[in-house]
Amino acid sequence: MAGLITELLLPGQLDRAAELLSQGEIVAFPTETVYGLGANALDPLAVAKIFQAKGRPQDNPLIVHCTGVEQVEGLVREIPPQALLLMDRFWPGPLTLVLKKGEIIPEVVTAGLDTVAVRVPDHPVALALLQAVSFPLAAPSANLSGRPSPTRAEHVLQDLQGRIPAVLDGGETGWGVESTVLDCTEYPFRLLRPGGVTLEELRELVPVSFGAAEPGEEPPRSPGMKYAHYAPQAEVFLVSGPTAADKIQELSESFLAKGQKVGVLTWDERARLYPGLTVLSMGPEGDLPGLASRLYHLLRRADELGLEVLFAEGVPEERLGLAIMNRLRKAAKGREIIT
């Protein structure tokens, strides 16, 4: 597929994007979370192109994007009443529900699982595109596998230029972190991936389990969560706790002594604690939605600046902080220090 010239389409050229999708091609498009790389979810050959373009492992299933509950009803075996309640409250929005899959969904979409992940995106361009084509769109994030998810069309081009026919540019995405993934095939429902809709919000409506499986219990089945993700080229260290700044200063000295380029992800108010380090601003202290929206851009920025080591300050694991820490842990590939 390499060697294509990727068309950069504006929302006024949505018909062109719909035409490509109808011809069995793949197109990147904006959603309220991150850019997705879409294909006709009912066409296995089209969906296979997504895995090829991203270099995505075949056993990592895709989220199917729909216009609304009615379209979802045609794709799944059943919708539990409690799941309907969540759809009613959070759709369109950053909540993905895992349901028992109908026959119509090809195996390549669900990586052979008997469940399918579905959601309705809350973005005018995504919804207009879904309306323009008559089929649901299977769409993972539009990045090369393992890289930070794209929150701007230019991020998509950085990764997939020449590998996909087109990207529909809808400006910067709003949330910046991916959707929450909730398994609704067991009760209580199980949180598989924290995201835009918070655990606290879900628990106001339904009981939700989250965390390590009990001994003897099956581990949570979200195949994608076992892969390294969201990683810039720099080695990332996630440092939390009351004396995080001292620890970061101490650790950075040995890297600086080796002549390495060292950066730190920190709140604006704390930037002064890191003289000598390249500061990537997380924004005003405590603004979790603001941080979520710029997190992936900051990780890509670390690459542009040629950083070799990046210290990231941890944030409290509540509300959106749970999703942010989940992504930072994956970027850090296990290098986590709690002071």
- Which residue ranges make up the site for Mg ion (CB under 5 A)? 140-141
Contact window for ligand AMP (CB under 6 A) among 110-118, 161-169, 233-241, 269-277: 110-118
Rounded to a whole number of angstroms, the minimum distance from the CB of residue 221 to ligand AMP is: 5
| Binding of ligand AMP by 209 (CB under 6 A) | no
Rounded to a whole number of angstroms, the minimum distance from the CB of residue 96 to ligand AMP is: 6
Contact between 274 and 248 under an 8 Å Cβ cutoff? The reply is yes
Interface residue with ligand AMP, options 115, 240, 266, 326 (CB under 6 A): 115
| Binding of ligand AMP by 327 (CB under 6 A) | no
Residue 192: which of Mg ion, ligand AMP, none does it interact with, CB under 5 to 8 A by kind? ligand AMP
Residue 224: which of Mg ion, ligand AMP, none does it interact with, CB under 5 to 8 A by kind? ligand AMP
Q: Six-digit token pair at 187? A: 């009760």
CA 59 to CA 71: how far, in whole Å? 25
- Terminal Cα distance for the chain, rounded: 47
- Residue at token pair 């994956």: 330
Residue 206: which of ligand AMP, Mg ion, none does it interact with, CB under 5 to 8 A by kind? none
| Binding of ligand AMP by 225 (CB under 6 A) | yes
Our CB check for Mg ion shows the closer of 106 and 140 to be 140
- Please give the torsion angle defined by the CA atoms of residues 124, 127, 129 and 133, in that order, rounded to the nearest 10 degrees: -160
Contact between 155 and 296 under an 8 Å Cβ cutoff? The reply is yes
Contact between 40 and 47 under an 8 Å Cβ cutoff? The reply is yes
Rounded to a whole number of angstroms, the minimum distance from the CB of residue 111 to ligand AMP is: 7
| Binding of ligand AMP by 221 (CB under 6 A) | yes
Our CB check for Mg ion shows the closer of 67 and 96 to be 96
Residue 164: which of ligand AMP, Mg ion, none does it interact with, CB under 5 to 8 A by kind? none
CA 48 to CA 55: how far, in whole Å? 11
Per DSSP, helices labelled H in the chain are 14-22, 44-54, 69-73, 81-90, 107-110, 124-132, 153-160, 199-203, 244-257, 288-304, 320-332
| Binding of ligand AMP by 140 (CB under 6 A) | yes
Sequence-ordered list of residues with C-beta below 8 angstroms from that of 27, at least 6 positions apart, any chain = 17, 20, 21, 37, 38, 39, 164, 165, 166, 167, 168
What 8-state DSSP symbol labels residue 218?
A: P
Interface residue with ligand AMP, options 224, 232, 263, 321 (CB under 6 A): 224
Our CB check for Mg ion shows the closer of 84 and 111 to be 111
Contact window for ligand AMP (CB under 6 A) among 55-63, 244-252, 262-270, 302-310: 55-63
Size of the site for ligand AMP (CB under 6 A): 20
CA 23 to CA 40: how far, in whole Å? 9
| Binding of ligand AMP by 305 (CB under 6 A) | no
Within residues 19-38, the interface with ligand AMP by CB under 6 A covers: none
Sequence-ordered list of residues with C-beta below 8 angstroms from that of 146, at least 6 positions apart, any chain = 55, 227, 228, 229, 231
Distances, alpha carbon 191 to alpha carbons 23, 25, 78, 162, 320, in Å: 36, 32, 19, 36, 14
DSSP, collapsed to helix, strand or coil, labels residue 36 as strand
Interface residue with ligand AMP, options 40, 141, 240, 252 (CB under 6 A): 141
Rounded to a whole number of angstroms, the minimum distance from the CB of residue 194 to ligand AMP is: 11
Site residues for ligand AMP per CB under 6 A: 60-61, 63, 98, 110, 113, 115-117, 140-141, 178, 181, 192-193, 221-225
